[in-house]
Amino acid sequence: MEKVKIYLEKDFTLAEVDDRIYSSFLEHLGRAIYEGIYEPGHPCADENGFRRDVLELIRELRVSHVRYPGGNFVSGYDWKDGIGPKENRPTRLDLAWKSIEPNQFGIDEFVDWSKKAGTEIMAAVNLGTGSPRDAGEMLEYCNFPGGTYWSDLRIKNGHKDPHNIKLWCLGNEMDGDWQICQLNAVDYGKKAREAAKIMKWVDDSVELVVCGSASVLQKTYPEWDRIVLEHTYDEADYLSMHRYYENEGNDLDFLASFVDMDDFINTIVSTCDYVKAVKRSRKRMMISFDEWNVWYQKKQTPHDWMQAPHLIEDQYSLLDALVFAGLGMTLINHADRVKIACLAQLVNVIAPIFTEKGGKAIRQSTFYPFKYLSQYGRGTVLKPVSKSPMVETRYGDTPLLYPAAVYNQGAEELTLFCLNINQNEDMPVELDLRSFGRLEMIEHIVMDGKELRAANTFADETRVCPHVEKVVAGEKNVYELMLPKLSFHVIRFKVK
Ligand code: AHR
pLDDT in tens, 420-429: 999 999 999 9
Q: Which pLDDT does position 219 carry in this prediction?
A: 96
Core vs surface per residue 445-469: b (16+ CB within 10 A) or e: bbbbbeebeebbeeeeeeebebeeb
| DSSP H or E stretch at residue 198 | helix 185-202
Q: Which pLDDT does position 78 carry in this prediction?
A: 98
DSSP calls for 367-434? HHHHHHHHHH--SEEE--EE---EEEETTEEEESEEEEEEEETTTTEEEEEEEE--SS--EEEEEE-G
Q: Which amino acid is at 451?
A: E
| pLDDT mean over 59-86 | 98
Taking residue 353's Cβ as centre, other Cβ atoms within 10 Å add up to 25
120 catalytically annotated: no
Q: Which pLDDT does position 93 carry in this prediction?
A: 97
162 pLDDT band, cuts 50/70/90, is very high
Ligand 1 site, residue 71, Cβ cutoff 6 A: yes
Where do runs of H (alpha helix) occur along 256-317? 257-278
In ligand 1, the atom with minimum distance to the C-alpha of 73 is: 6
| pLDDT mean over 200-214 | 98
Ligand 1 site, residue 345, Cβ cutoff 6 A: yes
Which amino acid residue places its CA nearest to atom 1 of ligand 1?
A: 344
Ligand 1 site, residue 70, Cβ cutoff 6 A: yes
Q: Which pLDDT does position 487 carry in this prediction?
A: 98
Q: Which pLDDT does position 302 carry in this prediction?
A: 65
Ligand 1 site, residue 172, Cβ cutoff 6 A: yes
301 pLDDT band, cuts 50/70/90, is low
Instruction: Given the residues 35, 173, 194, 413, select the one marked as catalytic.
Output: 173
Domains of the chain: 4-10+382-495 (2.60.40.1180), 18-376 (3.20.20.80)
In ligand 1, the atom with minimum distance to the C-alpha of 70 is: 6
Q: Which amino acid is at 169?
A: C
CA of 71 to the centre of ligand 1 (A): 5
Our mutation pick for probing the ligand 1 site, out of 218, 291, 300, counting the most ligand atoms within 8 A of Cβ, is 291
Ligand 1 site, residue 431, Cβ cutoff 6 A: no
pLDDT digits (tens, 9 = 90+) for 365-402: 999 999 999 999 999 999 999 989 999 999 999 999 99
| pLDDT mean over 32-46 | 98
Which amino acid residue places its CA nearest to atom 8 of ligand 1?
A: 71
Ligand 1 site, residue 27, Cβ cutoff 6 A: yes
Which amino acid residue places its CA nearest to atom 5 of ligand 1?
A: 71
CA of 451 to the centre of ligand 1 (A): 30
pLDDT digits (tens, 9 = 90+) for 95-149: 999 999 999 999 999 999 999 999 999 999 999 999 999 999 999 999 999 999 9
Q: Is the pLDDT of residue 300 over 80?
A: no
Radius of gyration of the chain (CA): 23
Taking residue 115's Cβ as centre, other Cβ atoms within 10 Å add up to 11
Q: Is the pLDDT of residue 323 over 80?
A: yes
303 pLDDT band, cuts 50/70/90, is confident
Q: Which pLDDT does position 1 carry in this prediction?
A: 77
Q: How far is CA 222 from CA 97, 174, 229, 393, 479, in A?
A: 27, 14, 11, 23, 43
Q: Which pLDDT does position 355 carry in this prediction?
A: 98
Q: Is the pLDDT of residue 299 over 90?
A: no
Q: Is the pLDDT of residue 297 over 90?
A: no
Which amino acid residue places its CA nearest to atom 9 of ligand 1?
A: 71
CA of 345 to the centre of ligand 1 (A): 9
What mean pLDDT value characterizes the chain?
97
Instruction: Given the residues 120, 137, 194, 291, select the one marked as catalytic.
Output: 291
| pLDDT mean over 10-29 | 98
Ligand 1 site, residue 237, Cβ cutoff 6 A: no
Our mutation pick for probing the ligand 1 site, out of 172, 174, 177, counting the most ligand atoms within 8 A of Cβ, is 172
CA of 417 to the centre of ligand 1 (A): 28
Measured at the CA of 14, the angle between CA 434 and CA 393, to 5 degrees, comes to 95
Q: Is the pLDDT of residue 263 over 90?
A: yes
451 catalytically annotated: no
| pLDDT mean over 326-351 | 98
Q: Which pLDDT does position 304 carry in this prediction?
A: 80
CA of 311 to the centre of ligand 1 (A): 12
